[in-house]
Structure 1
Amino acid sequence: MSTPSAIPTAAPATAPSGAPRRRGALGPVGLVLAGGVSVQFGGALAVTLMPRTGALGVVTLRLLAAAIVLMVVCRPRLRGHARADWATVVVFGATMAAMNGLFYQSIARIPLGAAVTLEVLGPLALSVLASRRAVNAVWAGLALAGVFLLGGGGFSDLDPIGVAFALGAGAMWATYIVFSARTGRRFPQADGLALAMAVAALLFLPLGLVESGSRLFDPTTLALGSAVAVLSSVLPYTLELLALRRLPASTFAILMSLEPAIAATAGFLILDQSLTTLQSLAIALVITASMGAVRTQVGRRRAKATESLTDLADH
């Protein structure tokens, strides 16, 4: 699953003029890729933990551990926020809880690579709808072809319940992006994320206790759950935050489109989840569609900026 962070629209900080360009370009890209590897291998580790606690128990441990780390590190201010601020962060947290819960239910039933590919359709649909350009029909068609192939021409090779959970997680991911941006405008730095993670953990705790009970407090289970939280939330968020200081948001979005391939690799190496040729082609189609949609959106923004500059010059 992707790290819980939305694609920012702000431009990254300008690197010093004396800094070597090649090194400056490769550094942040490496950080983003490392974050993606961390997320997907964390997801693979979560699958191995599910026999101990169940999917809901894994989500509970991940959210709790991530919330504790973020609250300690960020130390968000609790006073001085308007009611609308708190409403936004609560909806953001509830969306985060739903996104994680649905995704982990999906990877309990279908391969990790397939689940992430289906989940990516949520942000992809959001990008296509936001752009409103005819070329996005091509990207949407590629994505649909990928989904069709992923199911073996009708989802006969995948558990339909797992597919439904993954698509639901994708819808929540798109909603997450919207409310992440709103939260970022209302709270400084990562305060909103820390508070939303705490809300998500509190909302999910009863579900984890009902499914897992005292098994959640087993020392080995706690250690593995904390490792999942670090790999899937804390570490990738930190790496991406560092990378985005020097990396354009468009490049970041394209790199995030590679996550289905990274997830498939993690599933193969850790969980022995092999993919058929058709399923591998399906993942490649969805990745291509995602990259294309991002580039189209960036091109549209540049065209608008050029138009604005031209209008100013004319006046």
Structure 2
Amino acid sequence: MPVFLVLGSVISLQVGAAFASRLFGEIGAPGATALRLGIAALMLAVVARPKFRPETLVLGMTMAGMNGTFYLALDRIPLGVAVTIEFLGPLGLAAVLSRRARDFVWVALALAGIGVLGVREYTGAALDLVGVALALIAAVFWACYILAGRKIATAGLGTGGLAGASLISAALTLPYGLSTAGATLFEPKILLLGALVALLASALPYTLEIRALKSLRPSTFGVVLALEPAAAALAGAVLLGQHLSAVSLLGVALVITAGVGAALLPARAPRETPARRDEDLVLPVPQ
């Protein structure tokens, strides 16, 4: 079921992001980005023969931008806050693409939950404004990634297209990563942790998402991703010691409710005509 593919991606991605934060002290955010995308690209290239089309170039560029800016943000602000801000990308996309009133109900509920999570006090200091700005840029790239990934899925490029896009994103981020991390990037312990991060935060979630995007409407996919901030907050609490407050738990509950509602309600809705379903699949052209 496509919804469970997205849920698996959500959990894997946030656990991977928590582990990635441990790399920052060793190789910095650019190095962690390059290592993650590079190893993930090799993993996917082993599984499927890379395919290079204009669609894979667009997806590779969005993956590089999304991961690069997010990791730079994660180096400055807590995981839960970074993902909460970044989620404004798919949430905004869901609102723009929605054509039914009930979709806006779930978007509004998810937005309320994100607002509650956003006011959580992780530290006594004010949030780093550069980190917030980087997370907002990552949000734009995330929305573009959804559109580009949908294009890959509907064009029948599948995992091969994803492998090609991953190689492109790795090539775009490797020079900056090498310039900041140097030879440390290739130390055995760094490579081992990088491989774990690549599997959990890139290879596995991207594969699951590409398969899900083949049959899920982009608007539904975007709202189901409301689980991302909740998963990030939980991963931060369990793996990074960023403990949840009662207010944060309320935000998590609101976001989960919105995600589950968006996933289940369309399945119970009356069947639409083929013409309407085809209309729902029309997307703006990715930049």
Task: Give matches, 1:1-315, under 5 Å.
Answer: 29=4, 33-77=7-51, 85-86=53-54, 88-152=55-119, 157-237=126-206, 249=216, 256-292=225-261, 298=266, 302=270, 304-305=272-273
Question: CA–CA distance in 1 between the matches of 2:112 and 2:223?
Answer: 20
Deviations 1:238-291 (A, max 9, x none): 56678x6xx974897776432322222221121101233333333433444445
Question: CA–CA distance in 2 between the matches of 1:248 and 1:94?
Answer: 23
Q: Which amino acid aligns with 2:95?
A: V
Question: CA–CA distance in 1 between the matches of 2:165 and 2:27?
Answer: 24
* Compared CA separation, residues 33 and 95, structure 1 to 2 (3 A): closer
Q: Which amino acid aligns with 2:196?
A: A
36-45 or 182-191, which deviates more: 182-191
Q: Which amino acid aligns with 2:178?
A: L
Between Structure 1 and Structure 2, how many residues are aligned?
273
Shift of 1:137: 4.8
Q: Which amino acid aligns with 2:84?
A: T
Do the aligned partners of 2:158 and 2:210 also contact (CA within 8 Å) in 1?
Answer: no
* Compared CA separation, residues 59 and 222, structure 1 to 2 (3 A): same
Shift of 1:202: 0.4
Unaligned runs of 5+ in 1: 1-10, 13-27, 79-84, 310-315
Do the aligned partners of 1:45 and 1:228 also contact (CA within 8 Å) in 2?
Answer: yes
Deviations 1:203-228 (A, max 9, x none): 11111112212221222111211111
Do the aligned partners of 1:151 and 1:157 also contact (CA within 8 Å) in 2?
Answer: no
* Secondary structure of 1:275's aligned partner: coil
Identity of paired residues, percent?
Answer: 45
205-214 or 249-258, which deviates more: 249-258
TM-score by length of 2: 0.79
* Compared CA separation, residues 67 and 32, structure 1 to 2 (3 A): same
Deviations 1:149-203 (A, max 9, x none): 3343999753333232223222211111111122234453311111111110001
Do the aligned partners of 2:51 and 2:157 also contact (CA within 8 Å) in 1?
Answer: no
Shift of 1:66: 0.6
Question: CA–CA distance in 1 between the matches of 2:51 and 2:101?
Answer: 45
- In structure 1, the partner of 2:283 is none
Shift of 1:47: 0.5
* Secondary structure of 2:158's aligned partner: coil
Q: Which amino acid aligns with 1:173?
A: W
Kindly name which structure, 1 or 2, has the bigger radius of gyration based on alpha carbons: 1
Question: CA–CA distance in 2 between the matches of 1:241 and 1:92?
Answer: 11
Do the aligned partners of 1:100 and 1:169 also contact (CA within 8 Å) in 2?
Answer: yes
Question: CA–CA distance in 2 between the matches of 1:232 and 1:186?
Answer: 24
Question: CA–CA distance in 2 between the matches of 1:253 and 1:180?
Answer: 12
Do the aligned partners of 2:98 and 2:104 also contact (CA within 8 Å) in 1?
Answer: no
Shift of 1:229: 0.2
Do the aligned partners of 1:74 and 1:190 also contact (CA within 8 Å) in 2?
Answer: yes
* Secondary structure of 1:64's aligned partner: helix
* Secondary structure of 2:140's aligned partner: helix
* Secondary structure of 2:87's aligned partner: helix
Unaligned runs of 5+ in 2: 278-287
